[in-house]
Structure 1
Amino acid sequence: MAYQTAYYCLLPLVVIIITLAICSVPSLGEIDPQLLVKFKSFLFNANALNNWGNESISLCNWTGLLCTNHTFHGLRLENMGLSGMIDVDTLLKLSNLTSFSIINNSFEGPMPEFRKLERLKGLFLSNNKFTGEIPDDAFEGMKYLKKIFLAENGFTGHIPSSLAESPRLLDLDLHGNIFQGNIPKFRQNHFRVFNLSHNQLEGPIPESLSNYDPSSYYGNKGVCGKPLYACSSLTSYNNHSTISHQEKGKKHPVVIAAIVVVAVLALASIVALIFIIHRRRRQWKISQNNEGLRESSTTHSIDVTDDGFKKGENGELSFVKEEYREEFDLYDLLRASAEVLGSGRFGSTYKANVSNGSSVVVKRFKHMNRVGKEEFSEHITKLGRLTHPNLLPLVAFCYREEEKLLVYNFVENGSLASHLHGRVRVNSGLDWPTRLNIIKGVARGLAYLYKEFPGQKLPHGHLKSSNVLLNQSMEPHLTEYGLIPVMNKNHAKEFMAAYKAPESYGPNKKTDVWCLGILILEVLTGKLPENYMRKGKEGDEDLGRWVRRMVREEWTGEVLDKEIMGVRNGEGEILKLLEIGMCCCEWDVENRWDWREAVAKIEELKERDREEEEEEDDDEWSSNASEDETELSPSHNLNH
């Protein structure tokens, strides 16, 4: 009985102790803020993370933290100029970390041991200064990994076997490194993003990877096979000989002699074949293959499709600019040495050096199957007749059912996006007067489109910083304008800028203005809109709402790009443009400005505050006053 009494007396206490122990365990979403502060202590130039450790700010509002439903799940430390050491051991203690991004910073040295972070789903290291070989086991145990971006670094050696064996990989971007050797056979063959271009890879492309865009492999001198040109018999033989030599050691002299004879015969056959080819009259596919075999790692022919363009009705280049009509034709364009400028959701973009010595930009569109040839030609011809200093001129086009080519003039200074978010931001040339001039040019070009196409809801439809090109004088030129009527509607809804607007019922006549507003805020903040742009419910936050919240909660200057913060004699005008941007991307369409009001307000802006100009005018008048006036005392000068 005594034992039973003691048992029943102690039972409630035991229950309370267990309950307290369970309740004291933090939820999966809770993290120790001091871990983040410790991680930051290993970083250099971390001014962008100044609010880390501020207890008055909610943890999920710390710069660079990714949260869903107030639960931390990742770090996005992009475009911050960070360097130093990535303390993986501290990251390991953030048990809920599934995404880690340091895109466009200045981290150096070998790749850290990220394989310790076994729960990681996304790893984004592009546009840094990492170097050296990545060990074969660098990704072992990372069974949840779906996205890996290592582009534009200095990685060398073979592509790690553990990466090729990753079971759930969906997005892979390794372009712009120095990876060598053969392309491995990846366990995952159905990628959403796949780019191995501009490395030093060689050998045949695995059959399981042969259905991706050719641009995924451009810039690798030794790579061959579908979707590029076919591997020659000599190349295949040499590859086989090399492998056999490595496996079996030195061959018997008789065998070596036989190999030499076969090689000589093969060379003789190739010479004869080349002689025959050169006697034929412009056979498209063969000429493309020959050019491809001769090109270096930085240039190649434009391999338009797997079966090539043929002469005839579906292979004609239609010119909309008469001055180019006699300068080059489709054959010249397809065989010209070309440089890949980009590969996006709509297709690839090339810079082609045509036979007359000039350069043009060729855009391949694979999702323009909404209209027939006659309607397509009529619409593109109308676009070609447009003439405005802030529109990139359309030169020619080519219609084919599977894809279309649009040929534009080449603008040598790249896109506004590359200047705002490129790898190197030092001396980018984007001071305040330049940014204002760019916005004014964009607004004028947009206004011209509205006047030329008054009946269209979206005269531009795809206005964003990567579609604003800059010449050597930093004058803006709009591109990819007026294409909505000929685009595949489903593809347009998914990827075109206008469809990112918050209008639940679809684009309207103020949607291009919303895109203009987002562009203005991008130019002023230096922030990448894709990091904020989530079309959806009223509570979602795009770049416009983020700016509005920051302006409301903190000092306005915190949202501005550091290159224009503290600009002398222009702060007032900068803030006016910031307000214009917010009015243009207002979620409520009724309250959003129309294009006339937006353009008028932008045109009123000046490089310098009006008050400052008036003061300088007074100073200039004062300096011309009589020398007999009393000299200002030091205290007067200081007060002035």
Structure 2
Amino acid sequence: MARTPLTPPHAIFLFLFLLRHSSAQPELQALLKFKASITNSAAALSNWNPPIPPCTGSKANWIGLLCENGAVAALYLQRLGLEGAIDVAALAQLPNLKILSFFGNRFAGPLPNLALLRNVRAVTLSNNKMSGAIPANAFLGMTALVKLDLDDNVFSGKIPASLAGLPTLLELMLQNNMFQGGLPPFQEGKLMNFSVANNDLSGEIPPSLSHLEASAFLGWLVTFFSNLFYFLTIGKYTTGNKDLCGDPLQRCPNFRLSIGTIVMMLLVVAAVLVVLVVVIVILCRRRATPRQNHDEIANAAVLVSHSAADPVSDPERGEHPATATADQPNVRMTFLREDRDVFDMMDLLKASAEILGSGLFGSTYKAALSERQIVVVKRYRHMGNVSRQDFNEHMRRLGRLSHANVVPLVAFYYRRDEKLLVYDYINKTSLAAVLHGNRSRAGRKVLHWPARLGIIKGIARGLLYLHNDLPSLTAAHGHLKSSNVILDSEQTPLLTDYGLVPIVNQEHAEQHMISYKSPEYKHTGRITKKTDVWSLGILILEILTGRFPADFLKPKKDAPDADAATWVESVAKDEPDVFDADMAAESECEAEMMKLLRIGFVCCKAEVEERPDIKEAVQQIEEVKDRQTVSI
């Protein structure tokens, strides 16, 4: 029988079909080459087979892939028991690959040549059996790397010096290995998540790492059970970096310890270990959430520092769920405002980002999604005691707030161990930086009396709004201080970190939140509706005097005897020569300045009954006149 010739429409269709699938051939071949390097890939990667392509648009057809526009953006091959070599050369042929996560497999041998993956932002190889020394230049050129997780392996030798030169590295987890020698000189303030606990490091901790907690360097006693389990499963234990010194650990000694001192220390450690053995059973029963969940959180953090989020549905607000497959990380974000452009995980993955700062509550990032859409992402770690339902309800309450002196909350993300809040980005600087920054710096902002009065009035109006719209909260702000007030280009003050009291873990709130520094909490163990008024009074005195109340705002362990009343008394003692030197030339306004100063003193009264309520305080502040009114 004669073959029927193809009609032009058939020919066009066949041409487009072949063209579409030929464009995916390089990635398909690269993935098959990588699969061939895995010795037991047949079962774990059973659906990695042509003719089905790895990706169809943003849908992953093969297990463990995250796709974007028909290209592979991430590999999540976790807890699959994979063995063999990791063919990095094959993975380097995936030009859009951003995340590589092989947590919890059985890869052994030396670290593969990750430097071939120049565009990768996150690498997770923790809980494998890799070993040996890592070359000093192993990470040279990985300028996009944000997160590197190599913990729970058997790596030895020195920590690679090339890690210290990576410009975007924010998270470095090297704990539970056998690294030796000193720590490289990392860049100041760059690393936000960092751990080298349970290695065999020595020498002085570089000043650039002194802001981290001691557990980032030691952790042996704290993680006794996990170390014992590690010894039983891997066949080794770690020594806890016993020869590291310097902040935040003990001061580096100028002499060697005597044998007697060492023996005494060993006896004390042995006694502590005996006590800890008693609680092993309890620790077994209260094991943390499986590491896979933690790994997804960490990857979410990378995508949020270049942040990742999927909208989650909320029928009451007309929100729509993002699609997610079983092979994609469960990272969902709830949007609270209908007047904002909704973005998804891949939008944030592609966004340019920078870290704005890190405080006692977590880290803050700026993510530029486009020229007209820039957001701020705040990452909190001390809200684990609040349920998902309570957290969601409270966030929706905060999401309804709208005021000229309050930074609006746009979206949020919930996981038990980590919370992310997304705010509009405001080209800004903090009030604390303006008041207490380097006064010798050329071009610094100088706040004269009218500007300071306007800032105080704006803060008071925002605080009154929070009290009116959040009447169920004892302290509607709860954490009012100069670093939580930002100034836009017009010097309009905006309040941040408000409404956190109900969702912050109580022990962390008591240690760090401003409301818990108040006289009433010190004497009665309670905060009241007027606690925010006390915080406002402290802030008024700080703005007028330029003095930072550093001592009593520190965590209690750093300043256990510090007292707010002592600071207020020191301010009152210098009256009337108490005002900031930047206002020295404005003596014609001194009467109004003194009026506002005394309002601040009244708001700071130790006895709650002697303070005005928030409405009275705001009314008194509104009656203070600025320079222009006084001069008429």
Q: TM-score, normalised by structure 2?
A: 0.48
Q: TM-score, normalised by structure 1?
A: 0.48
